[in-house]
Amino acid sequence: MTSFHARGLAAALVLTLIGATAPAAAQPAAGTTVPVPAAHASDGSGRAGATDRVVVKFRDGAESAPRTRERVYAEAAEQVVPRGAAAAGEHEVAAPRLDEISETVDSAKVVAADGLLDAEELETLTAALEEDPAVEYAEPDHLASIAATPDDPYYATSQWNLQPTAAGLDLPSAWDRATGAGQTIAVVDTGITSHPDLDANVLPGHDFVSLHAGGVQPGHSRDGDGWDPDPWDEGDYAGLDECWSGSAARNSSWHGTHTAGTAAARGDNGTGVAGVAYDAKILPVRALGACGDGYVSDIAVAIAWAAGDDVEGVPANPHPATVVNLSLGFLSSTCPAVLQDGIDRALSRGASVVVAAGNNDRDARMESPANCRGVITVASTTAYGTRAGYSNWGRVTLAAPGGDPARQILSTANTGSARPGSGSYSYKYGTSMASPTVAGVVALVRETDPSLSPAQVKDVLVATARPLPGHCSGGCGAGLVHPRAAVARATLQEGYTAQGAIGWLHARIGSSTGGPRSHERCGLAQDGCYQEFERGAIYWSADSGARWVHGGVRSAWNRAGGVNGFLGYPRSGERSNGAGGVHQLFQRGTVVWSAGTGAAAVRGAIGGRWAALGGETGLLGYPLGGERGGLTGGGADQDFERGRILWSPATGAQPVHGAIGRAYADLGGEQGRLGYPVSPEHRSGDTTVQRFQGGSIVYRHGGITISHR
């Protein structure tokens, strides 16, 4: 990865890497048959996760009645429409036939269908079975297979970082389920060179190195022009004193080629190494030139373009990345605004951004982009499972193998010492190697569940990381990335379950919420958690317990900032108000809904006054919108069906409504001569009076009288 030389080039990034060339990989002999990896082996259906069996456990007493079980099977099967028939537009299709064929542990029944069912059909079937009161649980009877191990010759001998060891990542157990197919990993780096272990996975990229005039200097493109559609690595070599005064001559690092191979070198092709996501596509985006340097302004644009953002004067990227890898960095205690903007644009387009923590044995908060918002920051571990001595620590998301001088990371490289030669392999170490490792894991997770947002992908990685086998002084975030567990957590065919307090509430009101549509996600404000369901979400905090929020009430709550806003967590479920609407209590206010007015929040002094006046069934009726601040004198107001409540520090919250309210509005309201109301209306006989800061309004016999002080 990257370090910043103290030489006054504040916007440049410098890569500090150590590498050695490994022997050329053995090639398969002519006519050799390359085995199909287990993850891609045919199950006879062409559909991932397909099986023709489910396991059904009936509640005590129900399993002894065969007719009861036959009814349950038949009714559940009616809910499943075979995909092929639906796609063909058939209106009358036969439901799958279900027959008991045996028993398994604890008297659970093994039930076979008359054909293979895919993950979605199995989810529908098991959900329908579990809706029956007689059923305790139902689940697919999955087909298990041996762990997928690629036949790349260096995998077994040299890629300790990917193997099932204490310090390795046990990628074979994850490759059973995902290999990165359908995903694109953008490598924003020095560019890429042609390589037999990469070429089949490489997409057309772009060169964003803008410096091309003058002699060789840090960040120079060496290709004679600025931005262009050629992302090939021109070499980051330099002569004596060319990188900075006193700098030694250096060979080209082929850093982008190495990081690309770590993430997604072609696997199971009988050649060289296997990348973490070996079926993912590589999008090479050149942003670093001579000396391994590049300007932040170029890098920011490169990140945004890689994710599919429009860049003026540059053709649109036809292959937007699902994950962007940044094995680069520089000393800065804050993330530059332009770099954060590039990252934000990538995140907004659904691309995760994975960055190296840095190689300077200090708090990662002192380096960018490690300290930028929304990124996945990766520290480096050794073959002993400890934090590498050079690796930054502290503010990191998690860790991954990056090696050390004793045991490094083998990946794709080039034989050229300056200009590109032929493809080869070399060893390097650093957080530059740890970062693309995690980028590859992100690709596995996204293949498993493409609907996940960058924040949700990050949640999955954090929730499934395991403790480091060794020590990590300074802190390594959530721990060591755990590919198998991350993929399992994101796997739709396993279904989502609700547990703990959220699960208890779902068990009570599941007919209202529908089934879970995400895993439980924690780390919210006040150490809270939430889980999405078909028709809303359940939120939990220690103060409020578990509460369901949905529909218009949830929309209004989200507009107010959700758990991070002024309302905080829900403290009740929705309650009917007896007037055709509902309300829901939150920690610091209430959201009220009716069909005619929609949902709006009431809170604070205005909410208290409204409640004292009878709330939605009282004088003012339902709120027509949220509270508005910024009024004259630091005041606020809120509109209701039949009036308005105004508040100021000097007068508190007071209502205005009816004829007096209309006259007050005609006089300019709080901005007019009367100012804020200082009391509600007072009625005596046939006269109604309301006092204001600057006078009063009197209503009598249908007429209005205004007096000023």
Q: What are the catalytic residues? A: 189, 255, 432
Give which of 345, 343, 363, 365 is closest to 354, Cα–Cα: 343
**Using an 8 Å Cβ cutoff, are 21 and 413 in contact?**
yes
Angle at 701 between CA 700 and CA 702, to 5 degrees: 90
Looking at residue 593, its amino acid is: W
**End-to-end CA, the chain:** 73
Edge-to-edge, what's the strand order for the sheet holding 635-640? 628-631, 635-640, 643-648, 652-656
640 within 8 A of 623, measured Cβ to Cβ: yes
Task: Collapse the DSSP code of 278 into the 3-class scheme (helix H, G, I; strand E, B; otherwise coil) and give the result.
Answer: coil
What is the C-alpha separation between 494 and 652, in angstroms, rounded? 55
User: Which candidate, 200, 365, 190, places its Cα nearest to that of 281?
Assistant: 200
Q: Which two tokens stand for residue 541?
A: 């905090």
The HSE-up count of residue 584 (CA atoms within 13 Å, CB side) is: 26
**Residue-by-residue DSSP string for 232-259:** B-----B-TTTSSTTPPPB----HHHHH
Put the strands of the sheet holding 545-549 in their side by side order. 521-522, 529-533, 536-541, 545-549
Q: d(Cα 289, Cα 430) in Å, to the nearest integer?
A: 20
- 227 and 208 in contact (C-beta within 8 Å)? yes
CB atoms within 10 A of CB 120: 14
Q: What is the number of other CB atoms lying within 10 angstroms of the CB of residue 214?
A: 7
DSSP string for residues in 65-118? -HHHHHHHHHHHHTT---HHHHHTT-SS-PPPPEEEEEE-GGGPEEEEEEEEE-
Helices 431-448 and 483-490 pack at an angle, to 10 degrees, of 30
What is the rounded distance in angstroms from the CA atom of residue 505 to the CA atom of residue 545?
A: 10
d(CA 311, CA 233): 22
How many other C-beta atoms are found inside a 10 Å radius of the C-beta of residue 495? 15
How far, in Å, CA of 268 to CA of 290, rounded? 34
